[in-house]
Amino acid sequence: MIPTASQKWLALICMRCPRCCDGSIYAHGMTMNERCPVCNMRFEREPGYFMGALYISYALAIVVLLLFMWLGTLILPDVDLGWIVLICAACFVPFVPVVTRYARVIWIHFDRWAWPSRPEDGD
């Protein structure tokens, strides 16, 4: 069964496999499953595969930090912007694991959409 576009978006949000939309990409915390527990698709196609996720992580971090800064300037209008930047950077630290996880999930989904399974993937 081929998943629909809405199922794939839901799988991305829920950090599920891009192929079956059911198997979890992460086992627990920051530990990824090597393969999908449902359809056995390998998540890390090759060494250095997640370098692409760094670009996505950077973009996500910028979006979150800009959102924090916007909220900071609304909540603290009389405070110097330099202080707001420092406060926002400190407030962003707890979100780093979530951003990292979603960056990898988005990368896997994008990669499998742009370059579907190849014979050398072994899945």
| Residue 18 binding Zn ion, by CB under 5 A | no
Which span sits near Zn ion by CB under 5 A: 9-17, 63-71, 90-98, 100-108?
Answer: 9-17
Q: Which stretch binds Zn ion (CB under 5 A): 11-19, 53-61, 81-89, 91-99?
A: 11-19
Q: How far is the CB of 77 from Zn ion (least distance, A)?
A: 48
Of 3, 33, 39, 44, the one binding Zn ion (CB under 5 A) is: 39
Using only C-alpha atoms, the chain has a radius of gyration, in whole angstroms, of: 18
Question: How many whole angstroms separate alpha carbon 59 and alpha carbon 42?
Answer: 25
Q: Residue 85: phi, psi to the nearest 5?
A: -60, -45
CA-to-CA distance for 61 and 24, rounded, in angstroms? 23
In three-state secondary structure terms, 12 is helix
Interface with Zn ion by CB under 5 A: which residues?
17, 19-20, 23, 36, 38-39, 41
